[in-house]
Structure 1
């Protein structure tokens, strides 16, 4: 599974290293370059004459601030990125935690190269944690004119595997525990895609084994300038290195554009993304509206926030939290007067989060949380961190729902999952049916004090209405409601099947081995690693 946070990798890799006994030997293998030649570059001013700028101008009512088109359907979200890249004329600024070596990753990278060959300046920034299978392809991409690729917080050496990377940097774990979890795609300085999706098949319902329910938005308007400033801050930060300073071609070869072409099959026709005629909100493929010259958006006042790239480098844990997207996310939640509805795939509130939820409930605010069940969670040990707080949340009066893989597979409204497992990955919140928050931040300790994150807050009752509609589809049709049975004090999981209430008394759809693992190992994992 590609979309796992570094906490999961650390647990597994530490076990392997202990067995191999090679940590001390490999730790001395190398270090990052002491000097890097990396000229600062900034976002270019938008050109009103570009096709995308003309579409934005035609789509924007007088006096509006920022526009949003929610994209709950994975294939629509992938298609939006491809359409933007194909229509861009000046710039593409792209920032991701993961770009996988698979169909979706290859298609996007191919499209970026094609844009560069048209004269578009492409700046591609990727976190280095999961580049073991892509760094040679990314290095080869830089042989294309107008393309620059940079790595965030890179590993120094032993780059052929994730285990080898950590082994070779065993005394540098504090630095490497700091990852860039942001997701952002800006075209011509006038349109962006932001939200929770990385670039891999499972985020776009293209994986045969497991796929995510997730959320992105197509964004236009004044908030684009804020997103561009955030991108520039990361692009020029001390944590970033040009890929050529870190990655060497295999066998001392010269980096050649043909190497990239061979890897993504650029000599043949581009793969086609099969699109349904409409998504659950009634919107059609975005390309059709681009062709018509006008796009329907929902409008509101929006602001983008991101963690500083140097999070923790010069900060204590408390200072990192104070400047974090998580802290500003909680500031928005605590403005609620009536209700908060929140989705987070990794839900480990900690004592600070529990105090926030208790405060909301003391004020009489209804709180609804949707997260993954044990069966839906791609890492059971993370579920153990959530399970520590589950009964406390219920006791405070929180309405708690856990996603069911089986019910998600049967529910076709958010994508065709086939026989694959359905998992939650959307990070969203709605406050008082007026304020929407979406982005990359999970409600867990890692997002709060370790990873960098990106979020957008939007004041828009219309957008809130659409977001609640999407959340309710998962909550009511694809999830279990969790409650405490008053007579016994034990947990129960409720669902409705064919108008009949079903009550379960163990973690639903989970195996005895999964339950044993979290019961035995869960209490041993420090919460700040979750």
Structure 2
């Protein structure tokens, strides 16, 4: 396997994991050109053999739904005991620090008694992904029903891992919108599906983890090293939330909507039988997920940025410390991505149950202030209409996104920079994350020499409404991917998230402004009485990175970003 620390020569699957990254091969490096040439040859071969590769048609999908009620489980009783009297509310705890977020998922798996439902865009075949699968396997061995639903885009070469995991009693694995052939390699998958591009580039971007239908974790993190400070090259700043109580059955129903859709396929329908017995498959799973180099993280030793203990301490003490509030959860229907165009229903910005519709609804209803984070920012016509509307109403608008140096999607930066000046003219306070400053601060974790990149998708509206989810503010989330998100109506959580975003702005970002000539400037705040530093070109980048971007800018249509 290529060395993931050699970022100039290798882009790891998790770094590709927000966009149709095949576009990156257009960048003019010799290795990328060789990759492109190889894919073109494979594409020609696939074209010549068109019709040989197709998804299986006679697929047995046994319907199943979330358990009816988890109130009689240990976790359910803890949630009921913590819930305040009166109207049923939902409980939340923000998880801004990666070690606390991974710890929460694993502890919930260890304490599950009836069911675990897991839905992710990416479960990587790395130390983090295998560690999660072992925790889920251990729960299944105790009799817990485990349903794992993964988007198929980045599962290349992982069929043996998922098939051996599915061989355990009480475990089911299904893949969303799978590739029918060439499954061992990312490139061969695309080559065999080159004539079916309009289908395979549409993905399930959701992230959801629910235990005993009573408590779970949702937010922006996938299950891969980069999301939990375990990658040697780059790691993400992200946000999840623990969620319990009244809204959890709604989240479970959203999971069921995907699990029982015709666009998911059991792993057994895609992977030919190997002739191994169930026992041999389970032994293979042990070999694949154990041995040197596997993950054995310890419980976080202190409190997190918000003063919360590791979840295990609260669970052991029998007292969940949560913020209780009213909440609403939404997910795009699977048909948004994969149904025939005539059957997809209303577009996402008009469908009342879609994530985008409700994000825009609450943003446009703001009265005073919006604070927003998104790693990929391409507002498009609808987003700019929202910004003009709220700014026209006197609402302050702050956005934190990635700089060119921080983004893992340099082509997406082309789409973003087309809007920067217009947003600044409308009075948007625009901040871009600085990898160097993130490396220097320890507030969000020990990044050391690894690059820090923003991945969190969130918004705070009028310091009273919080949005956390999987949706980027870009055309891909609007048009091609499915998303999930939650709105929490809590001034306390809004204050916490506003503070976290404030830390990012102060400790790890440049503020953008328009200079006297109208050109964009980047302001790096100084400490003490020193003057701020003003930069006049994309900070922390070299000439060639900027030149390549300028070369490609006229060639990249916004709808593909």
TM-score by length of 1: 0.96
Measure, in 1, the Cα distance between the counterparts of 2:101 and 2:117: 17
**What do residues 452-473 of structure 1 show as CA deviations (whole Å, max 9, x unaligned)?**
0000011111110001011111
**What do residues 227-270 of structure 1 show as CA deviations (whole Å, max 9, x unaligned)?**
000000000001101011012256x5556111111000189997
Preserved contact between residue 17 and residue 23 of structure 1 (Cα < 8 Å): no
Deviation at 1:274, TM superposition (A): 5.2
- Say whether residues 1:7 and 2:20 are aligned partners: yes
Deviation at 1:11, TM superposition (A): 5.2
- Say whether residues 1:521 and 2:552 are aligned partners: yes
- Say whether residues 1:42 and 2:55 are aligned partners: no
Residues 346-357 of structure 1 aligned to structure 2 (within 5 Å): 346-357=376-387
- Say whether residues 1:306 and 2:327 are aligned partners: no
Residue number among 456, 469, 472 corresponding to 1:442 in the alignment: 472
**2:517 alignment counterpart:** 488
Deviation at 1:294, TM superposition (A): 1.0
Measure, in 2, the Cα distance between the counterparts of 1:47 and 1:214: 29
Deviation at 1:167, TM superposition (A): 0.7
- Say whether residues 1:262 and 2:284 are aligned partners: no
**What do residues 361-382 of structure 1 show as CA deviations (whole Å, max 9, x unaligned)?**
1111100000000000002101
Residue number among 418, 438, 441 corresponding to 1:411 in the alignment: 441
Deviation at 1:25, TM superposition (A): 2.9
SS at match of 1:489: coil
TM-score by length of 2: 0.91
Measure, in 1, the Cα distance between the counterparts of 2:332 and 2:202: 12
Deviation at 1:320, TM superposition (A): 2.8
After superposition, the Cα gap between the structure-2 partners of 1:136 and 1:175, relative to the gap in structure 1 and judged at 3 Å, is same
Deviation at 1:26, TM superposition (A): 4.9
After superposition, the Cα gap between the structure-2 partners of 1:14 and 1:330, relative to the gap in structure 1 and judged at 3 Å, is farther
Could you tell me which runs of 5 or more consecutive residues in structure 1 were left unpaired when the two chains were aligned: none
**2:31 alignment counterpart:** none
SS at match of 2:460: strand
Residue number among 34, 51, 56 corresponding to 1:33 in the alignment: 56
Preserved contact between residue 140 and residue 259 of structure 1 (Cα < 8 Å): yes
Deviation at 1:142, TM superposition (A): 1.0
**What do residues 266-320 of structure 1 show as CA deviations (whole Å, max 9, x unaligned)?**
8999712352401111111111001001111112110100000111414468933
SS at match of 1:466: helix
**What do residues 106-130 of structure 1 show as CA deviations (whole Å, max 9, x unaligned)?**
1100000000000000000000000
Residues 308-323 of structure 1 aligned to structure 2 (within 5 Å): 308-312=333-337, 313-315=339-341, 319-321=346-348, 322-323=350-351
After superposition, the Cα gap between the structure-2 partners of 1:511 and 1:32, relative to the gap in structure 1 and judged at 3 Å, is same
Could you tell me which runs of 5 or more consecutive residues in structure 2 were left unpaired when the two chains were aligned: 1-11, 26-34
Measure, in 1, the Cα distance between the counterparts of 2:102 and 2:311: 11
Residue number among 178, 181, 205 corresponding to 2:202 in the alignment: 178
- Say whether residues 1:60 and 2:83 are aligned partners: yes
SS at match of 2:347: helix
Q: How many residues align?
A: 528
**2:507 alignment counterpart:** 477
After superposition, the Cα gap between the structure-2 partners of 1:134 and 1:382, relative to the gap in structure 1 and judged at 3 Å, is same
The runs of 4+ residues in structure 1 deviating greater than 6 Å are 266-270
Measure, in 2, the Cα distance between the counterparts of 1:267 and 1:388: 47
Measure, in 1, the Cα distance between the counterparts of 2:517 and 2:50: 53
**What do residues 371-395 of structure 1 show as CA deviations (whole Å, max 9, x unaligned)?**
0000000021011110010001001
- Say whether residues 1:462 and 2:485 are aligned partners: no
Preserved contact between residue 299 and residue 310 of structure 2 (Cα < 8 Å): no
SS at match of 2:346: helix
Measure, in 1, the Cα distance between the counterparts of 2:341 and 2:329: 22
My pick for the range that moved more, 46-55 or 192-201, is: 46-55
My pick for the range that moved more, 228-237 or 275-284, is: 275-284
- Say whether residues 1:247 and 2:271 are aligned partners: yes
Preserved contact between residue 75 and residue 273 of structure 1 (Cα < 8 Å): no
Measure, in 2, the Cα distance between the counterparts of 1:223 and 1:523: 45
Residues 130-141 of structure 1 aligned to structure 2 (within 5 Å): 130-141=154-165
Measure, in 1, the Cα distance between the counterparts of 2:393 and 2:293: 61
SS at match of 1:378: coil
Preserved contact between residue 92 and residue 324 of structure 2 (Cα < 8 Å): yes
Measure, in 2, the Cα distance between the counterparts of 1:99 and 1:155: 16
**2:39 alignment counterpart:** 17
Preserved contact between residue 174 and residue 267 of structure 2 (Cα < 8 Å): yes
After superposition, the Cα gap between the structure-2 partners of 1:269 and 1:107, relative to the gap in structure 1 and judged at 3 Å, is closer
Preserved contact between residue 137 and residue 165 of structure 2 (Cα < 8 Å): yes
Aligned Cα root-mean-square deviation (Å): 1.8
Measure, in 2, the Cα distance between the counterparts of 1:519 and 1:488: 20
Preserved contact between residue 24 and residue 411 of structure 2 (Cα < 8 Å): no
